[in-house]
C-alpha cells in the first residue's frame, strides 16, 4: 500500500475517540465493515460494485425506486457495468440496494455520490448534497466515517455538510469522521477502472484522514492524502479546469487554423511526437459530461467571495460553449455549398448524442444544443446512437426526452441531406455512412482516421 500519508502530521485523540477509530480501521482492514454508497449513478454504482468485489458488504442507497428494483433483480442500467456483474454480487449477498435511509445506521462508512449541477445562472446547485446530508443525519451513530465524493467548491464539506451532521449533538472528529475524496470515474475507460485509479483524500482532522485512507487503501490501487478537506476539494476542480482550458485552446486553434486552410488535427498529431513539453488535447463540438462543462464554474463562483475574477477559466468556458453554434454554422454553410440547400426543411441526422464515445451517458451532451440550434433554423432533425435508444429527460433540453434513435440502414438515411458526427462511437459504420449520404459534417475527425477523405466529408 502507499505510504505517502506518513508525511501528514497526526494529532492525538482522546481515548474514547481513539478506540472508535482503531475499531473501525480494524473492520476496514478485515473487510468486515458495511459500506453505504448513496447515489447509484455513473459514479456511485461503479464504486459500490468495486467495494463489494473487495469483500465488503455494500448497501447501495438511491431515491429512484426503479434503480433500486433493477439492481436487486440483478440488472444494470449503465452500459459499461454488466448485469452479470450485478447479479453475481447479489448472489454473494455482499450487495443490496434500498431507498430506506434509516439503514444508514448499519454502515461503518457512508459515501455520498450525488449530483452537483449548476443552476441556469451558472451557480452551484448543492440541493442534492444538502438533501442527502439531511436525510442521513437522523440515523448517524458514533464511529461512522462520512465521505463526500461529489465534485464541489472548496469549503463545502466543512461549511455545509458538517453543520448539518452536527445538528443532533454528534461532533465531527469525536463522534463521527468527515472526509472528502473526489471521484475520478471515467465511464467506458477499460484501462482505468475504479480500483485502478488513485484516490485523493482529505479529512476533517487527523482521525478522519486515517479512517478514509484505511478504507480506500483496501479498495483502490493507492491513496494520496492531502492536508485538508479544502485541498482535496480543490484537486478535482484543478483536474477538470486543466482539461477545460486546454480543450478551449485547441477549439480556438481549430478556428484560427481553419481560416488559414490548415488542418488542426494534422497539426496536433505532428505536435504530439515531441517527447516533452506537450500534451495532446483534441477539439470537438463542445464539452459534455457531468464534470468539465460544470466544475470550472464552481471555482469561478467561489472565487467571487474572495474578490478574485477567474478570467482565464471564464474565457475557456465561453470558447467551449460557443462550439455547438460553430458546428451549426459550418453545417448550414456546407449544405449551401455542396447541395444548394437552405437549412429550412433540410433533414439532418445527428450521429451520437452521448457526450463521449462508447458510453450511454448523455449528461450535458453538446449534441442537444446542436439539435436545438438546427431546429431553430428550420431543419428537421433525427439521431442515431448505438448506445442511446431513447433520449432521457434532461434539465436543459426537456423537449427531446423520449425521442428514439433510428436504425442506421440505407433506407432510413436515404432522405437525409446531411449527417453531423457529434460522437465517434466505434460501433458506427462510417464508411457506409459516407457512401449513403451526400454530406457528412465530422466534428471528431473519425472519417479521416478511417481514411474516408472525400469532398462530401467536411470537418467542423
Contact assessment for residue 412 and residue 431, using Cβ atoms and an 8 Å cutoff: no
Helices and strands (H and E) in the chain: how many: 16, 13
Residue with cell 458526427: 421
- The owner of cell 480500483 is 195
Cβ contact 201:212 at 8 Å = yes
CA distance 460 to 455: 13
Exposure pattern of 401-417 as b/e (b: 16+ CB <10 Å)? eeeebeebeeeebeebb
Task: Quote the cell numbers at residue 418.
Answer: 446531411
Catalytic residue among 49, 113, 213, 291: 291
Mark whether 49 is an active-site residue.
no
In degrees, to the nearest 5, what angle opens at C-alpha 226 toward C-alphas 185 and 281? 40
Cell 488535427 identifies what position? 265
| Residues 348, 429: Cα–Cα separation, whole Å | 18
All three cell numbers of 46? 461503479
Task: Classify residue 258 as left (phi > 0), alpha (psi -120 to 50) or beta.
Answer: alpha
Interior angle at CA 230, CA 25 and CA 137, nearest 5: 60
Annotated catalytic residues are 291
Amino acid at each position: 500500500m502507499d505510504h505517502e500519508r506518513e508525511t501528514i502530521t497526526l494529532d492525538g485523540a482522546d481515548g474514547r475517540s481513539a478506540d472508535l477509530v482503531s475499531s473501525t480501521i480494524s473492520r476496514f482492514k478485515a473487510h468486515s465493515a458495511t459500506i453505504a454508497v448513496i447515489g447509484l449513478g455513473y459514479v456511485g454504482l461503479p464504486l459500490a460494485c468495486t467495494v463489494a468485489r473487495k469483500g465488503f458488504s455494500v448497501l447501495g442507497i438511491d431515491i429512484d425506486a426503479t434503480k433500486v428494483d433493477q439492481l436487486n433483480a440483478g440488472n444494470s442500467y449503465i452500459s459499461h457495468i454488466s448485469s452479470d456483474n450485478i447479479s453475481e454480487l447479489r448472489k454473494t449477498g455482499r450487495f443490496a440496494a434500498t431507498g430506506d435511509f434509516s439503514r444508514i445506521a448499519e454502515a461503518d462508512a457512508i459515501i455520498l455520490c450525488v449530483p452537483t449541477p449548476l443552476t441556469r445562472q451558472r451557480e452551484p446547485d448543492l440541493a442534492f448534497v444538502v438533501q442527502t446530508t439531511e436525510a442521513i443525519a437522523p440515523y448517524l451513530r458514533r464511529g461512522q466515517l462520512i465521505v463526500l465524493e461529489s465534485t464541489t467548491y472548496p469549503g463545502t464539506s466543512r461549511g455545509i455538510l458538517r453543520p448539518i451532521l452536527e445538528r443532533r449533538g454528534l461532533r465531527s472528529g469525536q463522534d463521527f469522521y468527515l472526509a472528502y475524496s473526489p471521484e475520478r470515474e471515467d465511464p467506458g475507460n477499460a484501462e482505468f477502472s475504479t480500483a485502478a485509479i488513485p484516490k485523493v483524500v482529505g479529512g476533517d482532522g487527523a482521525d478522519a484522514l486515517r479512517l478514509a485512507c484505511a478504507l480506500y487503501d483496501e479498495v483502490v490501487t493507492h491513496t494520496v492524502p492531502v492536508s485538508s478537506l479544502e485541498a482535496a476539494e480543490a484537486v478535482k476542480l484543478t483536474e477538470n479546469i486543466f482539461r477545460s482550458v486546454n480543450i478551449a485552446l485547441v477549439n480556438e486553434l481549430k478556428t484560427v487554423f481553419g481560416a488559414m486552410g490548415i488542418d488542426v488535427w494534422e497539426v496536433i498529431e505532428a505536435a504530439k511526437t515531441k517527447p516533452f513539453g506537450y500534451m495532446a488535447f483534441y477539439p470537438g463540438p463542445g464539452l459534455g459530461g457531468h464534470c468539465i462543462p460544470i466544475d470550472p464554474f464552481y471555482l469561478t463562483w467561489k472565487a467571487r467571495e474572495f474578490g478574485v475574477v477567474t478570467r482565464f477559466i471564464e474565457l475557456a468556458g465561453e470558447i467551449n460553449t460557443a462550439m455547438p453554434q460553430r458546428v451549426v454554422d459550418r453545417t448550414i454553410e456546407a449544405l449551401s455549398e455542396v447541395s444548394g440547400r437552405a437549412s429550412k426543411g433540410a433533414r439532418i441526422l445527428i450521429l451520437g448524442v452521448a457526450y463521449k464515445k462508447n458510453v450511454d451517458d448523455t449528461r450535458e451532451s453538446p449534441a442537444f444544443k446542436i439539435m436545438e440550434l438546427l431546429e431553430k433554423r428550420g431543419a428537421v432533425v433525427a439521431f442515431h446512437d448505438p448506445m442511446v435508444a431513447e433520449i432521457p429527460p434532461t434539465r436543459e433540453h426537456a423537449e427531446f426526452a423520449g425521442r428514439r434513435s433510428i436504425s442506421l440502414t440505407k433506407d432510413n438515411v436515404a432522405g437525409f441531406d446531411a449527417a453531423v458526427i457529434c460522437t465517434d462511437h466505434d460501433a458506427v459504420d462510417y464508411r457506409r455512412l459516407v457512401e449513403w449520404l451526400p454530406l457528412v459534417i465530422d466534428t471528431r475527425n473519425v472519417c479521416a482516421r478511417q481514411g474516408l477523405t472525400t469532398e462530401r466529408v467536411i470537418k467542423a
